[in-house]
Structure 1
Amino acid sequence: MRDEISQRRRIAVVLGLGCGLRQGEVFGLSMEDVDHARGVLHVRRQVQIVNGRKYFTLPKGGKTRVADMPRSVSDELVKHARAYPGDKVELPWGGPELDRERKKFGLVLTTKYGNAIAANTWNTEIWKPALARAGVIPPRVKGAKPWQWQAAPKDGFHVLRHTYASLVLEAGESVVTLAKWLGHSSPTITLDHYAHFMPEAGKKGRRAIDSLLGERAEESSGPNSPDSPQARS
């Protein structure tokens, strides 16, 4: 998918797969939220569509968070910023009920006209065509409208977040740590979704015990131990 999306927009895939960001969080990310020195992203807002209108709102759950940023993602963000300097975008903040307040941010990813990206436009004009080029879904039927693609609920942008979580857990990362990075209110939610991706239980503990007992066994059978042939002679 990364390779089938245009160079300007592929940073979205990198952020979704490399940091587990939700789609709206990617669209709301500013370069000011990127901390290259610490290797983290400050997830402070998302772009949300309410009644057909775009707003800046807090991330899901109404809470900001800090997400881990691997070096590979940091490097891609640097390249992207050089090639596509972020545009300042102003939108109402908080949703229709707070429509009086407006805020402006220099977004990492915008449309070619410098506007915030709408999820529905992204899905029909960017994501679905890339899915078709990658062979995940069939090409659009000849004569179909631009938005008439095969439904692909299991192949939406959110699959990048799922892939991120599964890879991190398979690598042995703490569920508590991953829950914080993903913005889950409790590690229980993370376990409910991703427990089947965790490494086989017992391996780390088994290695620790084997290491401890193995050292003790070597000590007890060494040349200075009471039961050694040298000691008995």
Structure 2
Amino acid sequence: MSQTTHSPTDIALHTAPSFVDTVRRRQSYRDFLPAPVPGPLLREVLTDAQCSPSNCNTQPWNMHIVSGQTRQDLSRALHEANKQGQVSPDFFWDEKAYRGAYGERRQEQGGIYYRNLGVARDDLDGRAAAGARNFSFFGAPHVAMLFMPTVGDGVRVAGDLGMYGQTFLLALAARGLGGVPQTVLGLYADTVRDVLGISPDLKLLYGISFGYPDLGAASNRTPMGRADLSESVTFHS
């Protein structure tokens, strides 16, 4: 039976978990309950995210939160663009470029997700339908689109948006909410800009669908593992 961590009425009484608990329990959810996040609660999350560090305190993030009818309009436009193959990324993307351990981790994540949904490896239609759920925002009532200005090669600004997105996700988790970063939304930048009326001067890096996670959904059954520290950290002394 579907359930959520906290109801909107309970959240005001919710005592925030420790930082350690928040970081280690956060996961990317791919099914959400339809209840919207109350405005005051969302403002608390955004206020936390605004405390993110950035290069020279430039704070280059431009967050566009889409809900209600506009969310439905955006979802329809994205599904149509996906169906027509009308990709328009602002930044190069090639998932096959992930090799070695990086490629293995990517494949492992995909394998767990499809198995939880009951989609076989050779079920191409099923895999396509599962992938298209991105454009319905996994049922989340809100999606945040993260845009950035063009500065140099963009790497520094993109790093700032990554830190902002992580703070946003942790602020959600601390309040019993959840989100999922979605690179694929950034592959349809022109579509998103057209629906939202955003200047082409702002570049779309990624999106985050968010809300109250549906903890009973099969897609949320298995938190992804993490590599041992020895695989990613080198100590010099």
Which range, TM-score by smaller chain?
A: under 0.3
Q: State the structure with bigger RCO (CA 8 A, min sep 6), 1 or 2.
A: 2
If you compute each CA radius of gyration, which structure gives the higher value, 1 or 2?
Answer: 1
TM-score normalised to the size of structure 1? 0.24
TM-score normalised to the size of structure 2? 0.24
